[in-house]
Structure 1
Amino acid sequence: MHEESQQDAVNSGHLVYHRIGGLIRRYRKEKGLKLLDLSGVTGIKSAMLSKIENGRMLPTIPTLFTIIQKLGIKTETFFAELSAEDNFPGYIFIPKDSYTAYEKEEGATGFEYQSIFENNFAGGAFQISLLTLRPGARRQQVTTSAYEYLYVLSGKLQYQLEDKTFDLSEGDSLFFDGNIAHVPINHKKNTTVRLLVMYFFGELSR
């Protein structure tokens, strides 16, 4: 695949963006490399690589090509795994059994993500996910290079944005800049919380 066609593939809007991080993580582990090893050969900081693998940041095109090259992956193979259907009839029906489970943070406990739908818009991309928080779910605060909107489908939880804490229950919403360190907390011992989460990658009008 030539550089021009690679650029076309990235810009086409028909790549499943949430798979980028998971694919990089899979190939890295298949090569027996740790994040620090990949950082050493790519010159990309391990913290940034971690955010890319966890879907907290979309890599720039040069960064993505550098990672692919250093992992020894054929670009056509990598982009083939990201391809989505190039057909929009004016509507999209998404049955629940087509939702795609994916891992966002290695080491997180009780966090279950499913990608419902994603696409791009002028200047960025968006992804809609279903997040299930099991009783006792836990992880550290993280940041995301995206704006986030969440809607509580069921259950009650606390949502921390750095030093602020919001008590949320069914029907409540929260919109925030993902660059603020954040974490949802399910304190209930026997209750599962379900959230609809939308990620907006790119600049929004202010």
Structure 2
Amino acid sequence: MDKDSKLDSFIGRVINEYRKKQGLTIAEVSEQSSISRGMFSKIENGQASPSLDSLLRISKALGVPISAFFKEFETEGESAQLVRADSRLEVVRRGTKVGHTYHLLNYDSGQNRKFEPFLISLDNQSEIFPSFSHEGKVFMYLLEGEMIYRHGKSTYHMKPGDSLTYDAKVSHGPEELIDVPIKFLNIIIYDSK
């Protein structure tokens, strides 16, 4: 396998990891990036060399910098990362469809990712409250607003400064938005394998 083919395969694996970690389908990322499903599938499977424009559109859809696709190809990662407030990436997650805004606060990649920190904003009192369920444990810290948050069969009335830690495999999500806008830190911690 030549170096170009290895790079295409590597980029495809990284894209696949990001997409699956975020619980997104090929169709969702394809639509967000304006790349046909067939072409996106070929890129993800390492069967096509993506243009820089395609990689930029995919990076925006997944909420990662374009450099994340190359970060570990031939170099070791940095030991510290500064993400400036004006360069946080807005990412697409399952709650995006009902008005939740997700900003990823760290761009770590690879199979050994230990956590994902998000700043989540809920700006309107939507009547649709999705249930979420995914891998890991979550530490949640309410910065602004007031809400009732559900985890399994229990509900928690949260005000600024309150925190909640829970198993993310159990169904969870906002039950009632009392005072909007609501902003909270949501840190997903993955089990080490």
Change (3 A) 1:4 1:100: closer
**What amino acid maps onto 1:140 in structure 2?**
P
Asked if 1:27 corresponds to 2:16, the answer is: no
Matches of 1:160 and 1:198, distance apart in 2: 17
**What amino acid maps onto 1:187 in structure 2?**
L
1:180 matched residue in structure 2: 170
1:143 matched residue in structure 2: 133
2:88 matched residue in structure 1: 99
Deviation (angstroms), 1:3:
6.5
More deviation, 70-79/156-165: 70-79
Matches of 1:101 and 1:163, distance apart in 2: 31
Question: Is the 8 Å Cα contact of residues 17 and 118 (structure 1) preserved in structure 2?
Answer: no
**What amino acid maps onto 2:102 in structure 1?**
Y
**What amino acid maps onto 2:190 in structure 1?**
F
Deviation (angstroms), 1:178:
0.8
Deviation (angstroms), 1:72:
7.1
1:77 matched residue in structure 2: 50
Question: Is the 8 Å Cα contact of residues 134 and 186 (structure 1) preserved in structure 2?
Answer: no
Matches of 2:25 and 2:94, distance apart in 1: 14
**What amino acid maps onto 1:132 in structure 2?**
S
Aligned length: 168
TM-score normalised to structure 1 length: 0.61
**What amino acid maps onto 1:94 in structure 2?**
V
Change (3 A) 1:102 1:88: same
TM-score normalised to structure 2 length: 0.64
Deviation (angstroms), 1:98:
0.6
Deviation (angstroms), 1:90:
5.1
More deviation, 94-103/75-84: 75-84
Matches of 1:112 and 1:126, distance apart in 2: 19
Report the secondary structure of 2:50's partner residue. helix
Matches of 2:182 and 2:119, distance apart in 1: 11
Question: Is the 8 Å Cα contact of residues 118 and 128 (structure 1) preserved in structure 2?
Answer: no
Question: Is the 8 Å Cα contact of residues 118 and 186 (structure 2) preserved in structure 1?
Answer: yes
Report the secondary structure of 1:77's partner residue. coil
Cα deviation, 1:134-190, whole Å, max 9, x if unaligned, reads 2313332120122211111112111101211011111111111111000024422x6
- Structure 2: tracts of 5 or more residues without a match: 60-65
2:153 matched residue in structure 1: 163
Matches of 2:11 and 2:35, distance apart in 1: 28
**What amino acid maps onto 1:195 in structure 2?**
F
- Structure 1: tracts of 5 or more residues without a match: 34-66
Pairing of 1:50-69 with structure 2 (within 5 A): 68-69=41-42
Change (3 A) 1:20 1:147: closer
Deviation (angstroms), 1:4:
9.7
Root mean square deviation of aligned Cα: 4.2
Report the secondary structure of 1:17's partner residue. helix
Deviation (angstroms), 1:119:
2.1
Matches of 1:203 and 1:164, distance apart in 2: 28
> Identity, % of aligned pairs?
14
